[in-house]
Amino acid sequence: MSLISVDTEALKDIEKRFGTLSQKIGQTESNLKSIRSNLDSDIKNRNGIDSKLQNLIKELDEEERVLNQAKQFLSKTIKQYQDLEKSMQNKVNEINGDTKPKKNIFSKIFDAVTSPIKKNIEIIQKIISLPVIIGSTIIGNTVIKGVGDILSEEGSKVTNEPLEEKKEKNENSSIPPLSGVLSYNPNVYSEEVLMLQKRLNEIYAGVSGYKKIKEDGYFGPETLEAVNRYKEEYGLWNFGEYEGKVGETTWNHLFKNEKVPYTPPVVRSNDNITVSTYKIPISFEEAVKNEYNAKSKNPITGKDEYACVKSQDGKWVRATEAEIRYYMDPNNFVNDPVNKYQFLVLGNVGGFEITPQNREEIINRLNDLLKGRGVLDGMGEAFVKASEETGIALPYLVAHCALETGWGTSDLAKGLDKNGNYTGYYNMFGICAYDSDPVANAINKAKSENWNSVEKAIIGGAQWIKENYISNPEKNTLYKMRWQPVSPLGNQYATDIAWAINQCSTIKEVYELFPEAELIFDIPEYAFSETPKVSNNSGVSINSGNKDVDRMLSIATEQWGYREKGENLTPYGEWYGMNGQPWCVMFISWCADQAGILGTVVPKEAHAFYMKQGYIKDGRYRERESGYIPRAGDTIIFSKGVTGTDPVSRENKEYYHGAIVVGYDPETETVYTIEGNKGDEVRYCAYNLRFVEIDGYGINGGTTNGFIPENIYSYKASTY
């Protein structure tokens, strides 16, 4: 029988009560938010009702946070007492096994243990009143130190830190980091969402009733369903605003799940990554115009078919010049962890050779990936044969086929015509699927090649791609296949402007199965460019929740570090026609223009006051005093009081600066921006939400808090 006895069941009951109370507070908070959102604006403004409700919600949120911390603290405490009891019993057994007399040592140890326990029970009783809960090992360390002092007197040596805690730290070190809360957002790619999807599929592999979710990095309906299932099965908090979301607690639970231990992926060494460049003999702007203007007349319909189209409302329509510029510009993707794979050379490379020794293993890995994927299910060997016979990289073949067939579910993949009639012929790569009648054209090509099975269509299609594209060093990457800027209609594979990047996530996924494989990236370099070429802030994750705003943010962040060439001399001022004038607002207009949203979303202006008026006219301006929380992609306007009347605004304030919001941190109430003409260059800056010189925000349609950038200018405004 142990000498230490602590009523841990009573502590567990307290812990449970904290959890229940926290849940109820969360539900109350959610109800208050709902009431607040449904109140008419005139009611909200009476006697400061809206402000009082907001403050009450904040107070409830803080109480909920403290309760959760208390619950976590109790959980750690219970575990430490339990671990301590085991440790002490082992020590007692060790001492009992020694025949040397040890007078009064048991009573000494017992006193050392019970004294801090009594004290810490009082702490637990008062814990709810603490403003901040210190989640440390105070209890465990205090006890063990007391025991250690006594045993040291007897000639024994003990550590001052619990061994179990050290073990826990080592285990946690393998958990991938989480930068924030993951939630439903089907339009924005995230590496963390991709890790989440992979882990969920890993945990539920072979579990009845679980459908493997697509591992694409987008938090869509399938991912949401899987997250809810996991949280409910394991009793994780999934109520109110936390429903369907993955925060730190859920994330850690996923990667510490003992039923399916997590194995960190093998990190690819830089030793097997090669980056080269190739020259394009025309300027980038000339290349964009070539692609935009390229067209041919369909001999059947007589209509113009453009070289660059986009999907819109289920139809293919001509892409705008701004959209083409975005997808063509390598600077937008070269540092992207996924979309950089459009520059990957698609021939077979070292480390990915298919040999008699690894052939079966590769087939099995592919079949695991293709399981449940329409007619692609079980086609691992067909892809391996195609790669062996053509020398084309296996990951590309899988990704290209997945894109063109919707993972084996399209009519062409099933051998059907556009009326649903079975033809007996298959086209797995969309070869010759010309826009005039893509299904009929693709079937005719399949008939001419006798692709009368899925396997034949995979192998034969790979041969055709090799002969017409991959064997040519000028067409051996997705980027080169999609963009032929000198002669767009010469031999480009697809007209969809997003065709190249749409395959990148799958290519990356397959390559991750073989981390030893060499990666060779070939980056285009245009002869010269009218677009400013500046240092790229690599690692920036664009996530505004709005694709149009994402484009503007991406373009803006690429300009980070650009410095004017003379007093107010910049490409932005030159573009606006006011070179030599202060250019902060012209920078905003330029970014919006490059993204194709100038005049529709962002007013075209060169002065902060007039840009504010443009937003007011559209009903999309919010004053700082309104309590509006900025979103990624919003325009921020700065002003300061002046003596007399400002000649531009005709007010007692000067509108002196403008910037683009890239992120907001609710914990510190900090607004992060990217802005031109800050110290004569493009910089990231940070401001307190209540900084008096923030006049207000122009709303551009973002929905998220965005990102916190690196390389932030040291100016941290704290004036209220």
Tell me, what's the pLDDT at 13? 66
The closest of 651, 632, 645 to 695, measured between CA atoms, is 651
Helix axes 138-153, 105-126, angle to 10 degrees: 170
Residue ranges, the chain, pLDDT below 50: 1-5, 41-42, 102-103, 113, 116-172, 529-539, 714-720
Both tokens of 457, joined, read: 């269509």
Phi/psi at 490 (5° precision) = -65, -55
Tell me the CA distances in angstroms from 175 to 261, 263, 355, 597, one per residue in order.
Answer: 11, 9, 34, 40
Give the β-pairing of 621-623 and 694-698.
Answer: antiparallel
| pTM of the predicted structure, to 2 decimals | 0.42
What per-residue string of b and e applies to 551-565 under the rule 16 or more CB within 10 Å gives b?
bbbbbbbbbbebebe
Per-residue HEC secondary structure of 635-690 comes to EEEEEEECCCCCCCCCCCEEEEEEEEEEEEECCCCEEEEEEEEECCEEEEEEEECC
- Classify the phi-psi angles of 350: left when phi > 0, otherwise alpha if psi is within -120 to 50, otherwise beta: beta
C-alpha 624/C-alpha 375 separation (Å) is: 56
Phi/psi at 686 (5° precision) = -140, 140
Measured between its terminal Cα atoms, the distance across the chain in Å is 62
C-alpha 244/C-alpha 247 separation (Å) is: 10
Q: What is the CA radius of gyration of the chain?
A: 31
For 447-486, the pLDDT digits (tens) are 999 999 999 999 999 998 888 888 788 888 889 989 988 8
C-alpha 133/C-alpha 123 separation (Å) is: 11
Is 182:246 a contact under the CB 8 Å cutoff? yes
Within 295-406, strands assigned E span 295-297, 304-306, 309-312, 315-318
Both tokens of 672, joined, read: 């992060």
| DSSP result, 162-193 | -HHHHHHHHHHTTSPP--S-B--EEEEE-HHH
Is 539:562 a contact under the CB 8 Å cutoff? no
C-alpha 478/C-alpha 475 separation (Å) is: 8
H helix or E strand, kind and range, residue 127: none
Residue with tokens 């065709």: 499
Tell me, what's the pLDDT at 33? 62
The closest of 351, 383, 353, 341 to 477, measured between CA atoms, is 341
What per-residue string of b and e applies to 628-655 under the rule 16 or more CB within 10 Å gives b?
eebbbbbbbbbbeeeeeebeebeeeebb
Both tokens of 66, joined, read: 């403290």
C-alpha 81/C-alpha 11 separation (Å) is: 10
Is 495:430 a contact under the CB 8 Å cutoff? no
C-alpha 529/C-alpha 435 separation (Å) is: 32
Query: Which are the contacts of 697, defined by CB distance < 8 A and separation ≥ 6?
Result: 621, 622, 624, 628, 630, 634, 635, 636, 637, 661
Tell me, what's the pLDDT at 369? 85
For 301-359, the pLDDT digits (tens) are 677 788 899 988 888 899 998 889 889 988 788 877 888 889 988 876 555 677 888 88
Other Cβ atoms within 10 Å of 327 Cβ, number = 25
Torsion of CA 17, 23, 28, 34, to 10 degrees: 180
Other Cβ atoms within 10 Å of 272 Cβ, number = 15
Both tokens of 39, joined, read: 């109140």
